[in-house]
């Protein structure tokens, strides 16, 4: 059984704008084991503190858990794997998500063009367009 790690924008779309998700992505989120990284929670909290985002239920942790996703804690192995990619992606959060997906043997659901263009050859089936 595949497990999926959601990129932060996929989490936000699932919670606030589900129509932006493809039918395939929506089905995965509804039917498969999905995870949200602690880094995505932090990124969401940053957006909230800057006034750029407001979740209907307040706490991103509770909102994510109520939606049925499992939270993925950050581990040193994720950081080590992220460091192995070097300049693969300019965003350190995305490098960590890629490293986390690789270590945990998860499919990273993303629409980030930079990840899809540069990382797919290196990660093979670990990345999937949302």
Cβ distance 6 to 109 under 8 Å?
A: yes
> For helices 92-104 and 76-83, what crossing angle results, to 10°?
110
Query: What pLDDT score does 48 carry?
Result: 84
Sheet holding 70-72, edge to edge: 70-72, 34-37, 4-6, 107-110, 127-129
- Average the pLDDT over each of 82-86, 99-103, 126-130 and give the range with the smallest value: 126-130
pLDDT at 31 over 80: yes
Query: What pLDDT score does 78 carry?
Result: 93
Cβ distance 35 to 6 under 8 Å?
A: yes
Supply the mean pLDDT for the chain. Answer: 82
4-129: CATH topology is Rossmann fold (3.40.50)
Band of residue 126 on the pLDDT scale cut at 50, 70, 90: very low
Query: What pLDDT score does 115 carry?
Result: 72
- Residues 87-115: what's their mean pLDDT? 82
pLDDT tens-digit series, residues 59-80: 888 889 988 999 999 999 999 9
Higher pLDDT, 48 or 70: 70
- What is the domain partition of the chain in residue ranges? 4-129
Higher pLDDT, 112 or 78: 78
> What contacts 24+ positions apart, CB below 8 Å, involve 89-95?
89/114, 89/115, 89/118, 89/119, 90/114, 93/8, 93/39, 93/40, 93/43, 94/7
């Amino acid at each position: 059984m595949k497990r999926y790690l959601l990129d932060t924008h996929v989490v936000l779309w699932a919670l606030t704008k589900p129509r932006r998700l493809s039918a395939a992505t929506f089905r995965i989120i509804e039917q498969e084991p999905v995870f949200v990284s602690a880094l995505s929670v932090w990124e969401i909290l940053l957006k909230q503190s800057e006034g750029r985002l407001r979740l209907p239920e307040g706490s991103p942790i509770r909102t994510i858990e109520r939606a049925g996703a499992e939270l993925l804690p950050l581990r040193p192995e994720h950081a080590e794997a992220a460091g192995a990619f070097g300049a693969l992606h300019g965003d350190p959060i995305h490098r960590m998500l890629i490293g986390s997906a690789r270590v945990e043997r998860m499919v990273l659901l993303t629409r980030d063009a930079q990840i899809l263009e540069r990382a797919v050859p290196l990660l093979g089936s670990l990345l999937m367009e949302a």
